[in-house]
A and B are shown apart, each in its own frame.
Chain A
Amino acid sequence: MRVTHGVTTLCFIALLVSGIEILISHPRFYWGETGNVLTTPLFKIPIPSSRALVPTGYGYVLPDQNGWSRYLHFQAAWALVLTGLLYAIFSLVSGHLRKNLLPGKAELSWRVLSTEIANHLRFKRPSESEAWSYNVLQRLTYLFVIFVLFPLVIWTGLAMSLGFVSAFPASVTLLGGQQSARTIHFFVSVALVLFLLVHVVMVCLAGFRTRTRAMITGKAGTDKEGP
């Protein structure tokens, strides 16, 4: 479980860096099937580009990094998908999903949820008894990231693959076209980055040293060494 967390983190950072590099070659987004420098974009990212063809308003062109970025993006995607599958199977079999991720019925009441939200807004540090278990907001967020955002980012990624959609055309038509898939891929990636930032901030608030030690060693104790 801790190994899949580590591999996922590494893959995510590799995907993020290579994804940004690829984005730089065409920092424009569209909706529908097609989009290019001759069509009106949905929006543009105001950064310079690595292609002279793209009108950015900057007087220079960045070096092309797409070759290794694409190789890395797909290799990391494979590693992430295979790790994710292992994690999903292990979560089901070991009961991690049921015990640690699915919220209990009682937790889904407005009272519990509003208390949790209020605690979070006050940046209240969690008590030591919470070190071994996720609260309801954590559970819902993790479920959303694992079962909505990650599947969506994989789906929209595959929907941009000409080979994949030749075998599964509905994977792209359901999204409204190849450029729509690319645009959704971008927004889901932004959502995942926001999750990562909040996740790291929360870890810091909960005590960076103990939480990081727990992540690496699996021991949740505070500063005392375990037996």
Chain B
Amino acid sequence: MSDLSRRKLITAGVAATAGVLGLSAAGHIAERYGLVPPDHGGIWGIGETLTYASQRLLTRHSLAREFSRSQISKRPVSNEMPPLNDAYKRLQAEGFAEWRLSVDGLVARPGTFSLAQLKSYPSRSQITQLACEEGWSYIAEWYGVPLSHVLDVVGAQPHARYVVYYSIDPEWWESIDMADALHPQTFLAYGMNGDELPTGNGGPLRLRLPRQLGYKSVKFITRLTVTDNLKAFGKGLGSASPEGGYAWYAGI
């Protein structure tokens, strides 16, 4: 072995060691500052972590674009979805009078809320875009109560890190970090375009999360759980999406 190749080998070895140590240190710092998504394992972990970390650093407080009334889509799309279950149909037959949102987990006052109670809280509206991961989009005006208000009412604990939310269909659940949960445009939405929220768009209650793709805006919300760790939920990947092969963080 010539001197040159030995020197190259040593340099490469030192560089590789430094690289691995640097990456592991960066990983620890990122974990500590909440920059690592729950689906960071596996072959896509590097890309997902880079996306989530950079968006958290750049967009923690930024607002989704809002549009003018004239830009509202004439006909909002109701995407294909699994058939409504019996529990939903029963509640629908009664005009959703018995629809309940339950809130549990790391909260001082767990409780359940009727739609009337949610509507009695200060109502907010937003004209935002719902964009699907497939590539299509529409703009609508949404009415609802900011999720942060409900979290205030139940007294979410300061060490909470995520809010897990469930559809009436038990297979359909998601979670978001507190940056999104406390964001002023994250709504529990109950109205759209001057009317009640139609079934096809998630009525009577859906989450609206305009800084992420449509699949995070889960329809037919019945339950919220506040937590500091997502390991115990499902397969521990954060939500149903990564279990089905889709990214947990959908800000891109």
Q: Is the CB of A34 within 8 A of B139?
A: yes
Q: Is the CB of B211 within 8 A of A33?
A: no
**What is the minimal beta-carbon distance from A20 to any residue of chain B, in angstroms?**
13
Q: Which of B73, B133, B136, B251: most chain A CB closer than 10 A?
A: B136
Q: CB-CB contacts of A16-58 with B at 8 A, as 1s and 0s?
A: 0000001101101000011111110000000000011100000
Given contacts A34-B129, A71-B44, contact A163 B139 (CB under 8 A): no
Q: Is the CB of A166 within 8 A of B246?
A: no
Q: CB-CB contacts of B29-67 with A at 8 A, as 1s and 0s?
A: 000000000000001101110110001001100111101
Q: Is the CB of A71 within 8 A of B211?
A: no
Q: Is the CB of A162 within 8 A of B77?
A: no
Q: How many residues of B contact A (CB 8 A)?
A: 42
Q: How many residues of A contact B (CB 8 A)?
A: 40
**What is the minimal beta-carbon distance from B29 to any residue of chain A, in angstroms?**
18
**What is the minimal beta-carbon distance from B11 to any residue of chain A, in angstroms?**
15
Q: Is B75 part of the contact surface with A, judged by Cβ < 8 Å? A: yes
Q: Is the CB of A26 within 8 A of B136?
A: yes
- Give the chain B neighbours of A163 by CB distance below 8 A: 55, 58-59, 211-212, 251-252
Name the residue of chain A whose CB is nearest to the CB of B64.
A166
Q: Is the CB of B55 within 8 A of A164?
A: yes
Give the docked Cα–Cα distance between A46 and B213 (Å).
Answer: 26
- Give the chain A neighbours of B48 by CB distance below 8 A: 71, 74-75
Name the residue of chain A whose CB is nearest to the CB of B137.
A34
Q: CB-CB contacts of A154-175 with B at 8 A, as 1s and 0s?
A: 0000001111111101001000
- B interface SS class: loop
Q: Is the CB of B134 within 8 A of A51?
A: yes
Q: Is the CB of A35 within 8 A of B137?
A: yes
- Give the chain A neighbours of B50 by CB distance below 8 A: 78
Give the docked Cα–Cα distance between A28 and B132 (Å).
Answer: 13
- Out of A51, A67, A68, which one reaches B80, CB within 8 Å? A51
Q: Is A219 part of the contact surface with B, judged by Cβ < 8 Å? A: no
Q: Is B123 part of the contact surface with A, judged by Cβ < 8 Å? A: no
**What is the minimal beta-carbon distance from A141 to any residue of chain B, in angstroms?**
30
Q: Is B131 part of the contact surface with A, judged by Cβ < 8 Å? A: yes
Name the residue of chain B whose CB is nearest to the CB of A165.
B65
Q: Is A189 part of the contact surface with B, judged by Cβ < 8 Å? A: no
Of all A-B residue pairs in the complex, the 5 with the closest CB atoms, nearest first, are: A163-B251, A67-B245, A75-B47, A36-B136, A71-B44
